[in-house]
Amino acid sequence: MDAQTLSIPVGDETTSGLLLMPPDAKALFVFAHGAGTDMRHRAMAGNAEGLAERGVATLRYNFLFTEKGGKRPDPPRLAHAAVRAVVARAAEVADGLPLFAGGRSFGGRMTSQAQADHPLPGVRGLAFLGFPLHPAGKPGIERASHLAMIRIPMLFVSGTRDALAELDLLRPVVAGLGSLATLHLVDQADHSFKVAAKSGRTGAEAEAEVLDALSRWMSGH
């Protein structure tokens, strides 16, 4: 299945998106990349293809800095503008499908910040694949303060060895959000959902668990 390339205005600039729409789609996920990748990264492409196999369409996209080939992430103001622009475009191409938004690491956090600042029109829930609760080696929960302002369902998929979301911090953060938040832990996985060989699991198994959890959660909402 080939993805359709879209051009998406973001204020006075433009970014690119890739729409992958399986014929049996039950939802559309606006899928943002992490700070060190872009929409064409193999993990993003593999996730999009895996979700398509599970009946979930995706619109993955570049933030403005990656569209320009830059390495330094956009400031929140620009990242939020990109999230909003892509969500608006997703609503145009969704053909009535339920909309969800989120992404991997930085992309998920920028989506949640945008939602907390002003609700994203038509989005039923947010899904975070490796929410970056804190920098590696600097545990804290300051990055989670805005989550209490969100009033739609949230899914946190996190590896038990994620150095950017220590479990003794992540669990109470999610619990504090009440019934709106769901936590799915991927055993032995790190922030990128990679697993050590000695874990007895393969990377493919861990990624499949991530996508299964995301697909099931969308079906429930």
**Please, where are the H alpha helices in the chain?**
42-53, 64-67, 76-93, 106-117, 167-176, 203-219
Give the domain extent around 205. Answer: 4-219
Reported pTM: 0.96
pLDDT at 1: 76
pLDDT at 32: 98
- Taking only the tens of pLDDT, the chain with its 221 residues reads 789 999 999 999 999 999 999 999 999 999 999 999 999 999 999 999 999 999 999 999 999 999 999 999 999 999 999 999 999 999 999 989 999 999 999 999 999 999 999 999 999 999 999 999 999 999 999 999 999 999 999 999 999 999 999 999 999 999 999 999 999 999 999 999 999 888 888 889 999 999 999 999 999 99
Alpha-carbon distance of 20 to 178, in angstroms, equals: 33
pLDDT at 196: 86
Closest CA to 40 of 64, 66, 22: 66
Residue 210 sits in a domain of what CATH number?
3.40.50.1820
pLDDT at 65: 98
pLDDT at 37: 96
- The total domain count for the chain is 1
Please answer whether residues 210 and 186 qualify as being in contact, where contact means their C-beta atoms are separated by less than 8 angstroms: yes
Residue 179 DSSP SS3 = helix
Alpha-carbon distance of 210 to 50, in angstroms, equals: 10
Q: With both helix axes pointing from N to C terminus, report the angle between 106-117 and 76-93 in degrees, rounded to the nearest 10.
A: 80
